[in-house]
Amino acid sequence: MTLWQTFLSRRNSLGSPVLPFVTILLGLTALAAVGNLWFPPESALHVSTYTITLLGKYLSFAMLALAVDIVWGYCGILSLGHGAFFALGGYAMGMYLMRQIGSRGVYGDPVLPDFMVFLDWDVLPWYWLGMDQFWFAMLMVLLVPGLLAFVFGWLAFHSRVTGVYLSIITQALTYALMLAFFRNEMGFGGNNGLTDFKDLLGFSLQADTTRVALLISTALILAGLFTLTHWVLKTRFGKVIEAIRDGEPRVRFLGYRTDRYKVALFVYSAMIAGIAGALYVPQVGIINPGEFAPLNSIEIVVWVAVGGRGTLYGAVIGALLVNYAKTRFTALMPDGWLFMLGALFVLVTLLLPKGLAGLYGQLSTSWKRDQTDQHPPNKEATS
C-alpha cells in the first residue's frame, strides 16, 4: 500500500520532460548570452547580435506553438486562428513601445504617434490611454487575447461547434481582424502597423544588452509556461481535457460541463499566444496586420504537426526546426518556401503522424513487430 501511494504521489509531481527541457533551454540561452556579451567579435565563440535576435524570435514562436499544442494536441480543438491572439498581444506591446517614443518621432509630437499626426488627428483615441504604463500594457497583453478567446470560445463551444467548422470560423476570425487592422481609421497604424520603436522600460532596443535581456526573458517565460502547462495538464483538469478530446459526449454524461472546460483551456492558450506576441514585437521591431494573415496561423499548425502534438516539447522542437529551415531556405530560394512548407506538412502527416516526438515510439514498435513476426508462437502465447 505504501509503495502504491508513493507511486501515486510520484505520478503527480513534475516528472519526465520538464526538468530536461528547462535545463537544455536555459543552458543554451545562457551560452548564447555569454557568447554575445563576453567574447569579442573576432573570437570563434562569439555569438552575433543578429543570432541573438533570431533566437529570441524563434523562442517566441516556440511559445506560440506551445499555445496551439495545448488546445490541439490535448483537447482536439484545431485552431487555425491563433495568429490573431499572437498579433493582439503584439499590438498591445507595440502600443506601449509607440508611446515610449514620445517627442523623438519624426513629427516630434509629445503624445501622438507619428501616424496619427500624419492622419491629422488631434487627440489620442481612448483605447490608447494608459498604454504608456508598462504594467497596464502587460495587463492588456493578457486581457485582450483572453477576452476575445472567451467571447469566441463561449459562443462556439456553447453551441457545440466542433471539428472542421470550428477551424473554419477561427480562420474567419483572424482574417476579419486582419482586414480591420489594415484600416487607418482603426487607429493602429493601418497598413504599416507600429514600428520605429526606441526603448523598452528605458533601455534602448538597439543595445546588445537589451537584446540579450529580451532573449533571456523569453527563455525564462517559455520555461515557466512550459512547467505551468505541464502541471495543469497533469491535474484531473488535464485528464478531463484529454477525455474531451477522445469522447466529449461521454464526458458530459460523467457530469462535467465540457463547454466550460474548453473555454477555460482556450482562454489560457490565447493568453500564452498573447505573451508570445508581446515578446516577439520588441525583438523584431515591428508589428503590422500581416501577422493576422490566415497563412501564419496555418504555419503554426505545421510547426506543431512536425514536432508532434500532445507532448508540449514536440511543439517547441517543431517550431524551432521549421523556423530555422525557413530562415535558411528563404535565403537560398525565397519563392520555394511555401512549396517546401506544403510538402513538409503532407510528408509529416503521411509518414510521421505523431511528429518527431513520436518517431522514437514509432521506430521501437516497428522493431518490436519485426521481432514478434519472427517468433509467431510468442504472440499467441500472450494473447
Partner 1 sequence: MMAKNSASELMRRDQVWPFLQPAAAGINVDKNVILYIEDLNLSFDGFKALNNLNLYINDGELRCLIGANGAGKTTLMDVITGKTQCDSGTAYFGQTINLLNYSEADIAELGIGRKFQKPTVFEAQTVFDNLELALKSNKRLLPTLLARLSPSEIDRIDDVLATIGLTDMRFQQAGALSHGQKQWLEIGMLLVSEPRLLLIDEPVAGMTAEETERTAELLTSLAGKHTVVVVEHDMEFVRSIARTVTVLHQGSVLAEGSMDEIQSNPNVIQVYLGEEA
Interface residues with partner 1 (CB under 8 A) are 5, 8, 12, 232, 235-237, 239-240, 242-243, 245-247, 249-258, 260-261, 264
How far apart CA 197 and CA 97 sit, in angstroms, is 6
Which segments within the chain are labelled E, that is strand?
A: 194-195, 199-200, 203-204, 286-287
Q: What distance lies between CA 199 and its chain's CA centroid?
A: 24
Distance in Å, CB of 115 to partner 1, minimum: 42
Nearest approach, Cβ of residue 252 and partner 1 (Å): 4
Query: Closest separation between CB of residue 221 and partner 1, Å?
Result: 21
User: Of the two residues 1 and 331, which places its CB atom closer to partner 1 in the complex?
Assistant: 1
Taking the least distance from each CB to partner 1, the nearer of 265 and 319 is 265
- Do 47 and 32 form a contact (C-beta atoms < 8 A)? yes
Q: Read off φ and ψ for residue 352, nearest 5 degrees.
A: -125, 70
Nearer Cβ to partner 1, position 11 or 41? 11
Q: Which is nearer to partner 1, 79 or 258 (CB)?
A: 258
Q: Which residue number, 250 or 375, has a Cβ lying nearer to partner 1?
A: 250
Distance CA 292, CA 321 (A): 22
State how beta strands 203-204 and 199-200 pair.
Answer: antiparallel
Least distance in Å: CB of 361 to partner 1? 13
Query: Considering the complex, what minimum distance in angstroms separates the CB of residue 229 from partner 1?
Result: 13
Q: How many CA atoms lie within 13 A of 116 on its CB side?
A: 21
Cα 270 from Cα 264, distance rounded (Å): 10
| Least separation in angstroms between CB 255 and partner 1 | 3
Name which of 81 and 314 has its Cβ closer to partner 1: 314
Backbone angles phi, psi at 55, to 5 degrees: -65, -40
Measured from the CB of residue 254, what is the shortest distance to partner 1 in angstroms?
A: 5
Smaller CB distance to partner 1: residue 198 or 245? 245
C-alpha cell at 311: 507532448
Task: Assign 164 to helix, strand or coil.
Answer: helix
Q: What is the DSSP string of 298-319?
A: HHHHHHHHHH-TTSSHHHHHHH
Q: DSSP 3-state assignment of 195?
A: strand
